[in-house]
Structures are given as C-alpha cells and as structure tokens.
C-alpha cells in the first residue's frame, strides 16, 4: 500500500535544470533542507522527505517555451486527512513560485478513506427522479434579484412545466428579505407539485445555500425542513473543506450541486493555477459533490474540449472508489448544442441552461420542451432539423440559435 500523495506539476522555465527544480520542490515542501542535516537527523527525517518520482521534459511549445512535467511524492505522514492540508502541502507556497501549474494528484487509499464522497452520486440522483435511461435536463433561474416570492414562484412554475428534471437557483441569489431560503423552498416546491400534475415528472430544486460558513449547516437544515430536495453550493468561494463538511453531515441528506463560480481564478492559465480536471473533477468528487457544473466547450463561456473530457473522466472514473458525480457542462447552452453534448458525454450528463430556456420565443415552458425534444431526437438518432418539422418548440429554438455539429 502506498503512503504518499503523488502530485504532478507542469513547470515552464527558459533555463532551469528541471531535475534540480524537482529536488528543490521535494525537499523544500517537506523537510526544508536535506544536505545540511547531520546524519542522525537525516535518519529521523527520512520518513517526511518528499521524493522525485519522475521528470519528463517536453519539446518546446509553439511559442518556444521550455517545459517539463514533474511528479513528486509527498509522505501522507506530513499532512492531516483534509483537503486544506493537502493543498497547502503540495501547492501552497509553490503556487506563487514561477510558472508552475498543479495538474493532478494521485491520493493514497489511506488519505481517501477520510472522504465518503458524494452521498447520492449519479445513481442516487437518478433514483430520486425515477429516470435511469437518458440524460437529465436542468433549468436555471434567471433574473432573480429584486423579485418577490410570487415572481420567483411563477418563474419556477413555467420552468417546471417544460418538463425539466432539475431547477437550480442562480448562484448570485443570496439570503435576502424578499425571498429567504425557507420561504423560497416552500413556494417553489409547491409550484413543483402543481407542475407535476401536468407533466407527470418529479423534479429536484437546488436551492442556493449561502451565508457565513458557521451558519451553513443550520441554513441547510432549515431548507430541508421547509421541503428542499437539493442544494446548490458555491464551493470555491468557501473552500473544498466546507463542501466536505456539508456532504458528510448525516442530517444534510439531499444532493449537493457544486457551482464553479470563481474557478476562472484557478484553471484557465496555461502556466499557473490548478488544472480544471483536478479542480472541478477529482476534488469536487472527493469533497462530495453529487453534481459538478463547469463551462462546456460549446457555449458562451468556453473551456477547451480536452479539459472538459478530463473533468468528465475524473467525475466518472472507477479508479476512485467513491460514488460518481454527475457532469453538468453549462453556460450558453441551447437546444442546438444537445447533439454535441450527448456525443461527448453520453447519457451520464445533465443538459443545463438558463438563457436557452428563458430566451425561447414562446416562453420558459416551451424552452424546456424544446430541450426535451432535442434530447429525444438525439437519442433516436434523428437530426434536430428533421425532428423540428413535427416538434414546434424545437423548431422555434433552432430558428433562433441554430444547430451546431
């Protein structure tokens, strides 16, 4: 059994000896100094010393930059079983020390044993919805600030009538006197019941869990007591450890959708930060997200396809013995993108849209129907254009947004 965490970095430097750099990381982030230590002390410190696993120098980039991938093994004994300790060990000070990006971490079984992971995962979410054989559809509240409960209820009802499986709050809707969390949950869950009579579909409403960290668990229980059946959480503004605490709290027994707000401060640079598959994939899953949202390669806020596929693989991989997390590629999604999403993600995906639902010329309910029609067509191998001939909501949607292939 391995008792180390192996971190992989991509390091850019015009002149450096990458092997020397690797040794300086392995020593500097563990015992501090080595060659200067007396022999007796070395024996004592050996179990704490980081080890260089591999250094792979690559041909220079198109813009003539030298770079290498460096792998360092950090002894588990150096850090406690929590994500803050892990991140500070492997990338605390180092994140500020030149052009270096944390690409991946291979964690020991012992470290991972402290993390139960997603409480529901994909199977749990599908069971709650009673949907096992198709991608799911989520709609996002739009224009929420300044609206009262009646306004939100109507918006919710229209979205629910479209036959979506999930509705999420906008991430910028915080605790406020007009629509406090427990009242918002009550009116929206009531609207969900009313819509179910028309659509025959259950749905999950991911209500935004916000406020000071010390009060989050109380807020979550308040929402659950009011009937909440899912939570939305801005993980990166609080930290992975807060998600871990919430997801492993037995009284918070509803799925948690992780929003990626702030992720752009971490992953997009080629030279700095934390790679998207680790940030929005592996760490979200380990910390217990049941669904993870991230920008897709196709919409308005885009992420390179390779990174998107890396997130998908990290959320679904059986290399981690945790429940899988549902991938939710998002931002600027419209029905004409559904064939691309299903091609790249298969059935284990949530098609998620705000503007693409609310911007439908016949309203949000028609917007949801257009998405469902796009999903049905794609699963049957029928082109959207052909399906649209007999499905008017889809027709109207592709008239405005087109179809991408």
* Cα separation, 160 vs 148, whole angstroms: 18
335 near ligand 1AE, judged by CB under 6 A: no
Least distance from C-beta 139 to ligand 1AE, angstroms?
9
Q: 3-state SS string over 9-22?
A: EEEECCCCCHHHHH
CA atoms within 13 A on the CB side of 146: 2
- Exactly one of 28, 180, 268, 355 binds ligand 1AE (CB under 6 A); which one? 355
Kindly indicate which of the ranges 67-75, 119-127, 190-198, 349-357 contains the residues binding ligand 1AE, using the contact rule CB under 6 A: 349-357
On the 0-12 / 13-18 / 19+ scale of CB atoms within 10 A, 164 is buried
* Cα separation, 375 vs 202, whole angstroms: 18
Please give the backbone phi and psi of residue 213, each rounded to the nearest 5 degrees, phi first.
-55, -40
377 near ligand 1AE, judged by CB under 6 A: no
- Exactly one of 354, 371, 372, 375 binds ligand 1AE (CB under 6 A); which one? 354
Site for ligand 1AE in 259-318 (CB under 6 A): 260, 293, 295, 300
Nearer to ligand 1AE, 72 or 278 (CB): 278
Least distance from C-beta 142 to ligand 1AE, angstroms?
6
117 near ligand 1AE, judged by CB under 6 A: no
Number of residues this chain uses to bind ligand 1AE (CB under 6 A)? 15
198 near ligand 1AE, judged by CB under 6 A: no
| CB-nearest residue to ligand 1AE | 354
What spatial distance separates the first Cα and last Cα of the chain, rounded to whole Å? 46
**Neighbouring residues of 212: CB distance < 8 A, sequence distance ≥ 6:** none
Least distance from C-beta 251 to ligand 1AE, angstroms?
27
**Neighbouring residues of 56: CB distance < 8 A, sequence distance ≥ 6:** 68, 69, 70
Least distance from C-beta 359 to ligand 1AE, angstroms?
8
Nearer to ligand 1AE, 245 or 290 (CB): 290
- Exactly one of 76, 104, 169, 171 binds ligand 1AE (CB under 6 A); which one? 171
Nearer to ligand 1AE, 218 or 262 (CB): 262
Given a contact cutoff of 8 angstroms between Cβ atoms, the answer to whether 376 and 370 are in contact is no
Given a contact cutoff of 8 angstroms between Cβ atoms, the answer to whether 27 and 120 are in contact is no
Burial code (b: 16+ CB inside 10 Å, e: under 16) for 98-134 equals: ebbbbbbbebbeebbeebebbbbbbebbbebbeeeeb
Rg of the chain taking only CA atoms, in angstroms:
23
Sign of the C-alpha dihedral computed for residues 225, 231, 236 and 237 taken in this order: negative
Instruction: Indicate the pairing of strand 166-168 with strand 136-140.
Output: parallel
353 near ligand 1AE, judged by CB under 6 A: yes
Nearer to ligand 1AE, 122 or 140 (CB): 140
- Exactly one of 11, 122, 235, 333 binds ligand 1AE (CB under 6 A); which one? 333
- Exactly one of 117, 336, 356, 368 binds ligand 1AE (CB under 6 A); which one? 356
162 near ligand 1AE, judged by CB under 6 A: no
- Which residue out of 15, 41, 93, 201 is catalytically annotated? 93
Given a contact cutoff of 8 angstroms between Cβ atoms, the answer to whether 273 and 267 are in contact is yes
Angle formed at CA 139 by CA 311 and CA 251, multiple of 5 degrees: 75
Given a contact cutoff of 8 angstroms between Cβ atoms, the answer to whether 100 and 10 are in contact is yes
93 is catalytic: yes
Nearer to ligand 1AE, 282 or 358 (CB): 358
140 near ligand 1AE, judged by CB under 6 A: yes
Kindly indicate which of the ranges 67-75, 352-360, 368-376, 396-404 contains the residues binding ligand 1AE, using the contact rule CB under 6 A: 352-360
Least distance from C-beta 296 to ligand 1AE, angstroms?
8
Supply the residues annotated as catalytic: 93
Residue ranges binding ligand 1AE (CB under 6 A): 140, 170-171, 260, 293, 295, 300, 330-333, 353-356
């Amino acid at each position: 059994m391995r008792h180390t965490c192996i971190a992989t970095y991509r390091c850019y430097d015009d002149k450096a000896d990458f092997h020397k750099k690797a040794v300086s990381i392995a020593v500097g982030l563990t015992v501090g100094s080595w060659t200067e230590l007396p022999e007796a002390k070395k024996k004592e410190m050996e179990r704490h010393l980081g080890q260089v696993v591999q250094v792979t120098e690559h041909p220079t980039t198109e813009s003539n930059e030298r770079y290498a991938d460096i792998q360092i093994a950090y002894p588990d004994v150096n850090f406690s079983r929590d994500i803050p300790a892990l991140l500070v060990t492997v990338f605390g000070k180092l994140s500020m020390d030149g052009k270096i990006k944390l690409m991946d971490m291979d964690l020991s079984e012992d470290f991972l044993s402290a993390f139960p992971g997603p409480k529901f995962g994909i199977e749990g979410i599908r069971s709650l919805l009673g949907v096992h054989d198709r991608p799911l559809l989520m709609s996002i509240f739009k224009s929420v600030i300044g609206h009262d409960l009646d306004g939100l209820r109507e918006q919710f009802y229209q979205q629910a009538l479209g036959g979506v499986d999930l509705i999420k709050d906008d991430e910028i809707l915080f605790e406020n006197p007009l629509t406090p969390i427990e009242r918002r949950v009550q009116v929206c869950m009531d609207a969900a019941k009313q819509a179910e009579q028309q659509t025959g579909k259950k749905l999950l409403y991911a209500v935004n869990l916000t406020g000071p960290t010390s009060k989050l668990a109380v807020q979550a229980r308040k929402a659950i007591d009011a009937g909440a059946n899912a939570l939305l959480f801005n993980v990166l503004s609080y930290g992975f450890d807060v998600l871990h605490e919430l997801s492993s709290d037995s009284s918070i027994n509803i799925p948690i959708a992780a929003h990626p707000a702030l992720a752009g401060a971490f992953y997009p640079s080629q030279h700095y930060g934390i790679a998207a598959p680790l940030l929005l994939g592996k760490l979200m899953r380990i910390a217990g997200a049941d669904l993870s949202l991230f920008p897709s390669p196709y919409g308005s806020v885009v992420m390179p396809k390779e990174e998107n596929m890396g997130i998908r693989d990290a959320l679904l991989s059986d290399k981690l013995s945790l429940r899988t997390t549902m991938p939710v590629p998002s931002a600027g999604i419209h029905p004409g993108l559904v064939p691309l999403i299903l091609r790249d993600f298969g059935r284990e995906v949530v098609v998620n849209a705000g503007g693409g639902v609310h911007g439908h010329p016949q309203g949000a309910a028609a917007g949801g129907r257009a998405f469902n029609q796009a999903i049905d067509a794609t699963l049957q191998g029928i082109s959207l254009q052909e399906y649209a001939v007999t499905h008017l909501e889809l027709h109207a949607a592709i008239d405005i947004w087109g179809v991408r292939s």
